[in-house]
Structure 1
Amino acid sequence: MGKATGELSFQAQLKGNHCFGCGTENPHGLHIQSFWAAGDTASCQFIPQAHHCAAPTHFLNGGIIATVIDCHCICTAMADAYRRAGRGIGQGEAIWFATGSLSLKYLRPVLINADIVLEAHISAVEARTTHLVCNLIADGKTAVEAKLTAVRVPEQWMSAKA
């Protein structure tokens, strides 16, 4: 699915998203693109750039790894909420989620030039929360396992002053 079918990513359908990891409106961001794979699972390919490196320049920085997992999961939760509401992503009143919790288990280093795929699966949905599990797969092997709880926030959250 995705680019081959002409389908728009979750992120391309969201308006007003300036997030570093997933925001299409952040010119300096990572610009990840997530798509439904099957059922309650979404997939994302990520191509790191050289400046996303760790201290050893042949490995991907752990913070970048956490960011792409976080953003892929949050966008999956939002896409699911729109789907459950019977609307296209970005249609009608905006639906936003924020990270309530994120736990990562780094199993192996990720080479900076690896083919990276993220697979997020919705494991449970409650009134205002969505629970997801996500694997970051590098060169065909699971390198990071994650669990994330996404919390729905009011639309005004996007315009609130700190």
Structure 2
Amino acid sequence: MQGKAFQDLYPEEYSHCFGCGRNNKHGHHLKSFWSDDMNTTIAKITPSNIYTGGVPDHLYGGLIASLLDCHGAASAAAFKSLTIGNKFDGSEPLVRFVTGSLTVNFEKPTPTECELTVTAKLISIENRKVKVELALLANDLVCATGEMLAIQLKDI
């Protein structure tokens, strides 16, 4: 992983998300980065047992969707910002995206107290719309997949 976290490059007024906002003292503070080849984005997080679902020691689906959502929006911002020449060095904010739609497929139970990896790959960019393919892995096993349509906010 290289460079600054995408979420740390968001404009100040758009940095309060519970999942990834640097200015939300109660949030998860998910951080997304480029992979070494800059074709994939990666985030890592180790959720505690307080986020368990109906099956002990496994995450509830809402947190899984939240992690895919935050990483997907950050990845859309990164992919779009890359196409417009952003330097990712903090000298300019990333363009900001919100979720238009998110599809989540729960493939396997996701353990708690284990480092999870969330990845995204670009599917397409069409004006203000970016589609990304998402995956959440635990111990190198795919636990959830998804697809997001992210919409770029206007005027930022």
**TM-score past 0.5 threshold:** yes
- Amino acid aligned to 1:134: L
On the 8 A contact 1:95/1:155 being kept in 2, the answer is no
* Aligned twin of 1:57: 56
Aligned pairs for 1:38-57 (under 5 A) are: 38-57=37-56
* Aligned twin of 2:144: 144
Equivalent residue for 1:13, pick from 1, 9, 31: 9
TM-score, structure 2 normalization: 0.89
1:126 aligns with 2:126: yes
Post-superposition offset of 1:92:
4.3
- What SS class does the counterpart of residue 110 from structure 1 fall into? coil
Post-superposition offset of 1:8:
1.6
Q: Deviations over 1:4-46 (max 9, x none)?
A: xxx3211122232100111111001111111111233101111
TM-score, structure 1 normalization: 0.86
* Aligned twin of 2:75: 76
For 2:29 and 2:19, how far apart are their aligned partners in 1?
6
On the 8 A contact 1:94/1:155 being kept in 2, the answer is no
- Amino acid aligned to 1:98: V
Q: List alignment gaps of at least 5 residues for structure 1.
A: 157-162
For 2:101 and 2:62, how far apart are their aligned partners in 1?
15
In structure 2, do the counterparts of structure 1 residues 104 and 24 end up closer, same or farther at CA, with 3 Å as the change threshold? same
For 1:30 and 1:96, how far apart are their aligned partners in 2?
19
For 2:32 and 2:93, how far apart are their aligned partners in 1?
21
In structure 2, do the counterparts of structure 1 residues 31 and 93 end up closer, same or farther at CA, with 3 Å as the change threshold? closer
In structure 2, do the counterparts of structure 1 residues 92 and 8 end up closer, same or farther at CA, with 3 Å as the change threshold? closer
Q: Deviations over 1:46-78 (max 9, x none)?
A: 110221211333111110110011110100111
Percentage of matched positions with identical amino acids = 28
The count of aligned residue pairs is: 152
Post-superposition offset of 1:94:
5.7
- Amino acid aligned to 1:26: N
Q: List alignment gaps of at least 5 residues for structure 2.
A: none
